[in-house]
């Protein structure tokens, strides 16, 4: 069977900090939930494997497709490196309240402790309420000893870097960076395939049963990057029709803003492509066939499809993600 651009059923996650924007804004099937925090769009995480929702391969899992099509689906180099494990997790996040202050291990620590990849990620702000903010890194040079002292007396946020956020802001978060998404943010997230989070502080919240969520204070100490960086926000030309907004050893992300038909040539790229629609609607044409897209859609373009054309019906803003 010939491969074609694939959509997947969203994997929805209720969270103590979640809301209803994934349903209201992105048209995800959250039902009556008022605490839906995440929609996993393309996932190879064990126990949360994406399932195709369109075309003749509907009902097939992402892992089944990789096993069958190998490099034709994800790219030859990608398959040689990762085998049947898809290396990226693509999601939307609705923060109706602040997430916990947290950190993720790098590949070395993740493999040592959990037999897992680490978790480097990036955020694209789809929608920000007035006065929304987030935390990324430290606001001054910090040592492990100073961090522990401040943490012990309950003043951790005093040394963390809080950033005011508006629509279309981008943040790159390498493993080891302390961070949290703030209240009022709807975010597109691209990350390594990992669900390992070390929760450092959770604002003393309790769940519906009165229980506090588990913290991972000791585990986090060895995972944290204590360095200070002058710039945590990714600076880019927001007026550009096409611009690279994220580049790492794990993923490369471009932002496309389209008002007319756009031809995309992927023949020199040894990877599948994932398109996330952040605004607008239209169609993706490949060969003699086409597939519609709308706000909130995430579409995997198999490696074997070298060229597509994107026909926007309304101004369309897309993230274009590949594996290096």
Burial of 304: CB neighbours in 10 Å, binned 0-12, 13-18, 19+: middle
The answer to whether the CB of 6 falls within 8 A of the CB of 54 is yes
Task: Tell me if residue 264 is catalytic.
Answer: no
Among residues 67, 52, 48, the alpha carbon closest in space to that of 8 is found at 52
Among residues 199, 255, 264, 322, the one annotated as catalytic is 199
Listed in sequence order, the residues at least 6 apart from 135 whose beta carbon sits closer than 8 Å to its beta carbon are 101, 157, 160, 161, 162, 163, 178, 179, 180, 182
Spatial contact of 37 and 100, defined as CB atoms under 8 Å apart: no
Order across the sheet with 6-7: list the strands.
6-7, 298-301, 273-279, 316-322, 252-258, 242-247
Per DSSP, the three-state class of 24 is: helix
Q: Residue 203: which of 225, 233, 181 has the closest Cα?
A: 181
Picking from 237, 239, 143, 127, the residue whose alpha carbon sits closest to that of residue 186 is 127
Contact 259, 242 (CB under 8 A): no
What token pair was written down for 290? 């086409």
> What positions carry a catalytic annotation?
199
């Amino acid at each position: 069977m010939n491969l074609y651009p694939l959509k997947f059923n969203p994997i929805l996650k209720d969270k103590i900090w979640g809301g209803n924007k994934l349903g209201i804004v992105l048209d995800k099937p959250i039902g009556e939930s008022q605490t839906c925090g995440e929609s996993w769009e393309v996932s190879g995480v064990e126990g949360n494997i994406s399932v195709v929702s369109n075309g003749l391969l509907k009902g097939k899992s992402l892992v089944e497709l990789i096993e069958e099509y190998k490099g034709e689906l994800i790219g030859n180099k990608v398959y040689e490196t990762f085998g049947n494990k898809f290396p990226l997790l693509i999601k939307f996040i609705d923060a109706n309240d602040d997430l916990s202050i947290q950190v993720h291990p790098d590949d070395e620590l993740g493999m040592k402790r959990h037999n897992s990849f680490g978790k480097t990620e990036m955020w694209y702000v789809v929608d920000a309420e007035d006065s929304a903010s987030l935390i990324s890194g430290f606001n001054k040079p910090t040592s492990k000893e100073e961090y522990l002292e401040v943490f012990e007396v309950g003043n951790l946020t005093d040394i963390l870097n809080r950033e005011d956020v508006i629509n279309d802001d981008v943040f790159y978060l390498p493993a080891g960076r302390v961070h949290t998404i703030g209240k009022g943010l709807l975010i597109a997230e691209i990350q390594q395939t990992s669900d390992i989070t070390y929760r450092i502080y959770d604002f003393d919240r309790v769940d519906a049963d009165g229980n506090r969520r588990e913290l991972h204070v000791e585990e986090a100490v060895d995972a944290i990057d204590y360095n200070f960086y002058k710039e945590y926000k990714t600076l880019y030309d927001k007026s550009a029709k096409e611009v690279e907004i994220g580049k790492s050893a794990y993923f490369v992300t471009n932002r496309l803003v389209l008002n007319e038909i756009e031809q995309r040539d992927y023949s020199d790229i040894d990877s599948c492509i994932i398109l996330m629609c952040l605004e607008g609607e239209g169609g993706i044409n490949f060969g003699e066939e086409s597939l519609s897209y709308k706000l909130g859609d995430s579409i995997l373009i198999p490696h074997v499809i070298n060229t597509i054309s994107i026909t926007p019906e309304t101004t369309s803003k897309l993230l274009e993600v590949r594996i290096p």
